[in-house]
Amino acid sequence: MQIFFAFFCFQESSVKNFCVFVKNYQFWYNNYCIFAENNLKCMKKFYFILIAISAFLYACSGAKSYYKKGLKLEQANMYDEASQMYLQSLARNPNYIDSKIALKKTGQIVFDNRLGDVFKAHNAENHKAAVYSYLKAQEFAEQVRVYNIELSTPPQYEQYFEKSKAKYLDALYKQATDLLAVENFEAADPILAEIKKLDPNYKDVKSLKRTSANEPLYRNGLAEMQAKNYKQAYYYFDQIYQNDKSYKDATALREKARKEAAITVSVLPFQNYTRYNGVERTIQGNVVASILALKSPFIDLVDRENLQTILDEQKFGLSGNVDEATAAKVGNLLGVKAVLIGKVTNFTENTGRLRSEEKIAYESYQAKEWNSTTNQYQNVTKYRRTSYREYYNDKDINITFEYQLISSETGRILASNVVNKTLKDEVRYGTYQGDTRNLFPGDANGVFWGNSEKNRFDRLFQARRELKPTSELTQNLYRFIADEVSADVYRAIGK
């Protein structure tokens, strides 16, 4: 099929013949539709064939339309605009031969005009204009080359370009080095970037560009370090680190600033005031994982095993309720700047009773009826009232968790909240003894017609019949709670 279509795109006369063919199939198409009225699969296949034919005709006609526009512009000596039309034509059909021929002609004219701009600028010693005119001409040649059309370049124009580029780069280099000499790094940076773009290997431009980009950040970082604004200092050094890890001692200073700004945090064992064992440990594990996932450079967690070892060595028990004073004392004992305490105050699970009710539906069936017009029996679809059973059930789980982030140094509460989360699940499905493909929704007044109604009804009999396990719901709840806690911790100390 694709080869067949491609063949027609090559010849305009063939396209016209094909269009006549498409019009002439109207008769057999109408007969086919009658034949396929009860054959949905055949109709779908035919529909996709029509789409393919339409897309083919659109591509061919679009290419021709742009070609005609280009031809008019070419006749008016508007060669730039004409070339763009031919490029648009080939974008729709890369094999449209008329547009290829036309683009070869007008493209060369446009290319020569742009090379003429190179010559004029070079002679006038406007070296920047000469450089960028040449690059603009080459960019156009690349656009045309996509369609296997080569434009010829007289060798002297490349010489004009190279000579102008050398002089232009020298001027830029002097300007940039003069700015660097007075430590105006911000102004020198875009100039060096332009030199590097035109010639990456020009003199020591790579080294100078490295300095112009990094030195302002480096000096700002040092100033923030001296002012003890360690977080801001970290961000300056981190910008250098992301692009140039070996610039001076920026990597070491970045880590030094991070350590000064970081808050060491211990997550103390959470308390459980419910009858469900282990809930507090699972929430604590999720909270720790969520905080670590933030990857904040300013939050350093003390691992749980190390925490318990230190507490055991100091014979410090944490049974019962842990208040702010106790938390701060433990924080000082552990040598951390903040501690996170929490308690589960509620865990309830409510599972409903499976309910059901009988509902009205209609079953389709085939019957024979006498047709007085054709004087013969014909099959007709009829509907008889029946019923199906619809089932409902639901479950919800609620967890309430309270937490506080406390400064070990001041005893001040840095963040606190009461998180109350509920997750619900429900099932709703239908059962029927017969074939649900013949079953239609309705009520006492009759059948509900429409594909959307039938589709929704069919899904009812394919729906899930079991409630999700409690473990699945609680795991999601734990993650929701942990993410909210970690977000609060991040806002308080991790930014």
Low-confidence residues in the chain, pLDDT < 50: 1-44, 46-47, 50, 53-54, 56-58
Those residues whose C-beta lies under 8 Å from the C-beta of residue 288, and which sit 6 or more positions away, are 267, 301, 304
Please tell me the distance from the alpha carbon of residue 413 to that of residue 266, in angstroms, as a whole number: 14
pLDDT tens column, 227-285: 999 999 999 999 999 999 999 999 999 999 999 999 999 999 899 999 999 999 999 99
Reference 131, options 180, 169, 170; nearest CA is 169
Q: How far are the Cα atoms of 63, 66, 99 from residue 18, in angstroms, in the given order? A: 16, 20, 21
Q: For position 326, what pLDDT does the model report?
A: 78
Q: For position 27, what pLDDT does the model report?
A: 42
The answer to whether the Cα torsion of 116, 117, 119, 123 is positive or negative is: positive
For 53, the 3-state DSSP assignment is helix
Question: Do residues 260 and 230 lie in contact, with contact meaning Cβ atoms separated by under 8 Å?
Answer: yes
Continuous H helices in 375-469: 451-462
Q: For position 327, what pLDDT does the model report?
A: 80
Question: Do residues 338 and 264 lie in contact, with contact meaning Cβ atoms separated by under 8 Å?
Answer: yes
Q: How many beta carbons lie within 10 A of that of residue 38, not counting itself? A: 7
Q: For position 308, what pLDDT does the model report?
A: 65
Q: Which two tokens stand for residue 410?
A: 């001041």
29 backbone dihedrals φ, ψ, rounded to 5°: -65, -45
Those residues whose C-beta lies under 8 Å from the C-beta of residue 282, and which sit 6 or more positions away, are 474, 478
For 450, the 3-state DSSP assignment is coil
pLDDT tens column, 412-435: 999 999 999 999 999 999 999 999
Q: How far are the Cα atoms of 19, 61, 69, 107, 204 from residue 82, in angstroms, in the given order? A: 28, 18, 7, 9, 44
Specify the long-range contacts of residues 13-22, CB closer than 8 Å, at least 24 apart. Answer: 15/57, 15/60, 15/61, 15/64, 18/57, 19/57, 22/53, 22/57
Please tell me the distance from the alpha carbon of residue 366 to that of residue 382, in angstroms, as a whole number: 6
Read off the pTM.
0.69
Q: How many beta carbons lie within 10 A of that of residue 37, not counting itself? A: 10
Which one-letter DSSP state was computed for residue 429? E
Q: Which helix (H) or strand (E) holds 407?
A: strand 376-407
Q: Which domains does the chain have, with CATH numbers?
A: 68-153 (no CATH), 172-261 (1.25.40), 262-494 (3.40.50.10610)
Q: Which two tokens stand for residue 289?
A: 């994982």
Q: For position 213, what pLDDT does the model report?
A: 96
Q: Which two tokens stand for residue 190?
A: 């875009």
Longest C-alpha distance within the chain, in Å? 106
Q: At what angle do helices 12-24 and 26-35 cross, to 10 degrees?
A: 40
